[in-house]
Amino acid sequence: MRKRGHFGSLRCATIAVVIAALIGAAGFGSAALAQTPGTAGAVSLGDLFKPNDSVDLRDGAEATLREAAGQNLKLGSCPQKAKFKVTVKRGDPMFQLALAQARSNVLKTFFANESVFSGLEFSGEIGSKDDVQVDYDRMPDREKPKLHTSSEPPKGSKVKPGGLIKVTMVARDDVNTWQTGIQSIQLIAQNPGGDALVGSQGYPPVIRPNCEGRPEPRTLVLTYEVPRNPPPVVRLRAIAEDFANHHDTDIGEFPTGDWYGTIDWSMFAGDGVGHHGTIDIAVSYDRRGNLTGRAVGTEQVAEGNSPCKIIFSTPPRMSAKVVGQYTSSANTMSLQFVEREDSMGEHHLSCAPNYKPPSSYYPAAAGVGMVGVLNNLTVSATGSVDAERVRPQGETTLRLSLKLRKAQN
């Protein structure tokens, strides 16, 4: 004898047969369900409960409910979400509302035991008569698109000023048949001075009234020229958006040195305000033990106990030349910032009432001391550097986290 398989493993054709058996055997041919899913307006199923304020279903009500819920499972069309609303005739407001909610819970419990149905909604309220209504909404697009990018040269490759980076972006929004499809793809260069649009492409919507097939993938190919004075790490951010305003993002990093990465720093200053920031860094190796490169960073301010709040319209920035040494025999390196330039950014102070603000404010980024902090860094067998440093600075404590990795040459 052949064993019966679990319902979840049946093929689509078998699912259709099972649903037909569930909702067709009842012979419910009422005109109440002549409306098809997606048609505007609720459908009345009639009074499905026994009289005298009962919460028990009438004979035949279960078959009616199955047929109504089964409308959203018809194959070959857009799945629908069925919303059941129980109404009870007017009377004592508190009692009637409680009765409507109790009957709504009966429907919810009934469908909880019918594993073929899911995604249903239930509500109860006072109306003009005892009734159960069902309405249908097209299943919403809740899934974000999927974006895949590739590039020539590949991500992580070392690039030079004037070099070209060709980026291929493929966006899909086809996890199921009711996805809305790709609306746009764009590529943005994340520059220290502000993001710049490399290029974009918008796509028209493809109307599929009954979810015929899945939305097609969209492909965009753009070429970016590395600027004459590039940041330490060139970052290209690709963004795909569907017609439900869901996004997917992918970032490609292209260093200008043989090692590249970031320094995350933080310090709690004497003014009671926490300062933190990120510094991008890239250094090249001349094969004679010398390292040279650049560092560019920004500062942010966290809430603290100061009576004044610092509000930036443009954040403080720092840039510096980086010099250092790499000892291959010991797998160690040391780095130092020189020729440093700092910009205070644009900000204002918002202070507590009756508190006189300081005459000036100097960003913490401009005072972060790196001298001696980045010495004797260990380079792993894979070429990466991962170091933590803590250094007292007067009334403050500087904390650094350095992460470098080798570029693809």
Q: How high is the pLDDT of residue 77?
A: 57
Cα 333 versus chain centre, distance: 37
What is the extent of the structural domain holding 14?
A: 7-138
Half-sphere exposure of 369 (CA within 13 A, CB side): 11
Least confident range of 112-116, 127-131, 140-144, 260-264 = 112-116
Q: Is the pLDDT higher at 385 or at 352?
A: 385
Exposed (0-12), middle (13-18) or buried (19+): which is 242, by Cβ within 10 Å? buried
Cβ contact 407:156 at 8 Å:
yes
Same domain, 288 and 363: yes
Most trustworthy range by pLDDT among 60-64, 144-148, 329-333: 144-148
The conformational region for residue 193 under phi > 0 = left, psi -120 to 50 = alpha, else beta, is: alpha
Mean pLDDT of the chain: 82
Q: How high is the pLDDT of residue 57?
A: 96
Amino acid of residue 240: A
pLDDT at 21 over 60: no
Beta strands at 346-351 and 332-343: parallel, antiparallel or unpaired: unpaired
In tens, the pLDDT along 243-255 reads: 999 999 999 999 9
15 pLDDT band, cuts 50/70/90, is very low
Cβ contact 65:110 at 8 Å:
yes
pLDDT at 371 over 80: no
Q: How high is the pLDDT of residue 135?
A: 86
pLDDT at 47 over 60: yes
DSSP 219: E
Identify which of 79, 75, 77 has the alpha carbon closest to the alpha carbon of residue 13. 75
d(CA 301, CA 277): 8
Task: Give the three-class secondary structure for 379.
Answer: strand
Same domain, 278 and 331: yes
Cβ contact 323:292 at 8 Å:
yes
Number of domains making up the chain = 3
d(CA 245, CA 146): 13
Would residue 88 count as lying in a domain?
yes
Identify which of 54, 228, 35 has the alpha carbon closest to the alpha carbon of residue 135. 35
Structure tokens of 218?
Answer: 């969209």
Q: How high is the pLDDT of residue 301?
A: 67
d(CA 82, CA 80): 6
d(CA 262, CA 296): 10
Would residue 2 count as lying in a domain?
no
164 pLDDT band, cuts 50/70/90, is very high
CATH number, domain with residue 60: 3.30.1330.60
Same domain, 93 and 43: yes
Most trustworthy range by pLDDT among 76-90, 190-204, 348-362: 190-204
Same domain, 60 and 110: yes
Same domain, 308 and 383: yes
Same domain, 388 and 265: yes
* 99: enclosing H helix or E strand: helix 93-112
227, 255, 283: which is the final residue of a domain? 255
Cβ contact 292:322 at 8 Å:
yes
Q: Is the pLDDT higher at 315 or at 219?
A: 219
Same domain, 112 and 167: no
Cβ contact 158:71 at 8 Å:
no
Half-sphere exposure of 200 (CA within 13 A, CB side): 15
Q: Is the pLDDT higher at 359 or at 232?
A: 232
Would residue 31 count as lying in a domain?
yes
CATH number, domain with residue 244: 2.60.40.1930
Contacts of 102 (CB under 8 A, 6+ apart): 55, 124
Same domain, 273 and 401: yes
108, 138, 168: which is the final residue of a domain? 138
Q: Is the pLDDT higher at 75 or at 255?
A: 255
pLDDT at 5 over 80: no
Q: How high is the pLDDT of residue 271?
A: 54
Most trustworthy range by pLDDT among 51-60, 116-125, 368-377: 51-60
From start to end of 96-209, where are the E strands? 121-126, 131-138, 146-152, 164-172, 182-189, 196-202
72 pLDDT band, cuts 50/70/90, is low
Same domain, 214 and 280: no
Least confident range of 114-123, 251-260, 365-374 = 365-374
Same domain, 350 and 269: yes
d(CA 81, CA 138): 6
Same domain, 204 and 102: no
Would residue 1 count as lying in a domain?
no
Task: Give the three-class secondary structure for 139.
Answer: coil
Structure tokens of 311?
Answer: 């509000």
Would residue 187 count as lying in a domain?
yes
The pLDDT of 47-76, averaged and rounded, is: 85
255, 276, 300: which is the final residue of a domain? 255
Task: Give the three-class secondary structure for 29.
Answer: coil
Q: How high is the pLDDT of residue 211?
A: 79
Question: What is the dihedral sign for C-alpha 138, 170, 203, 208?
Answer: negative
Q: Is the pTM of this model over 0.85?
A: no
Same domain, 263 and 361: yes
